[in-house]
Copies of this chain bind each other. A is one copy, B any other.
Amino acid sequence: MTAVTQTIRNGVDTEKMFATLDLIKDQPELAKFQFRASNRWLGGSHNRSTIKDFHAAGGEDTSRTEAFHIEAGEPAILLGADEGANPAEYLLHALAACLTTTIVYIAAARKVELTSVESMLTGEMDVRGCLGVDDEPRNGFARIGVSFRVTGNAPAEKLREVVERAKQRSAVYDMVTNGVPVAVEVSTD
């Protein structure tokens, strides 16, 4: 029982984590993942994504028994009825969630036991861009601010190092700060 207790840190099975890292080091082809979302318009500003299967570790991962259904909408001022958070807010959620999980996993690997991770994100947008009123402001956020509060059984300096390392490894932080090539195809029948 002692050994089992020690392998779980921050709710992460570190034994399984290190085994996964070793496996991927040995067989890099297993590291090729593909994530997916399908989306359907439901009227006005309301649409819904369905997320379930993905490709991982050399094949289709079918471990998920249920799909996630995620609603998007807009507030009244942007002509919606709050059918869900809006797309730009979901981008903030994706960023917050990825940095948080990366902090938690890195802390687990470094034997730091966390007691809390909280964050507040803000994104500044001049909506003249996305509304097509003016070409000068960009369509998206001009900048994003992330304010983390992280506590645990380690000195402040070590906790800050964990956050710094998370910035260097977070998938969504990389995408949001550096951008990703996006190819759009359209069919009309």
- Which A residues fall within an 8 A CB radius of B? 10-13, 16-17, 20-21, 24-25, 28, 31-41, 43-47, 49, 51, 54, 56-57, 61, 63-64, 66, 68, 70, 72, 74-77, 79, 82, 84-106, 114, 116-134, 137-151, 156, 159-160, 163, 167-189
Contact A144 B37 (CB under 8 A): no
Contact B31 A128 (CB under 8 A): yes
Contact A126 B33 (CB under 8 A): yes
Contact B183 A140 (CB under 8 A): no
Using Cβ atoms and an 8 Å threshold, which residues of chain B touch A121?
A: 36-39
Using Cβ atoms and an 8 Å threshold, which residues of chain B touch A25?
A: 133
Using Cβ atoms and an 8 Å threshold, which residues of chain B touch A75?
A: 54, 56, 61, 63-64
Summarize A's interface: helix, strand, loop or mixed: mixed
CB distance from A109 to the nearest CB of B (A): 8
Alpha-carbon distance A92/B87, docked complex (angstroms): 10
CB distance from A115 to the nearest CB of B (A): 10
Using Cβ atoms and an 8 Å threshold, which residues of chain B touch A35?
A: 86, 88-89, 92, 122-123, 125, 141
Given known A51-B85, A102-B130, A179-B177, contact A114–B170 (CB-CB < 8 A) = no
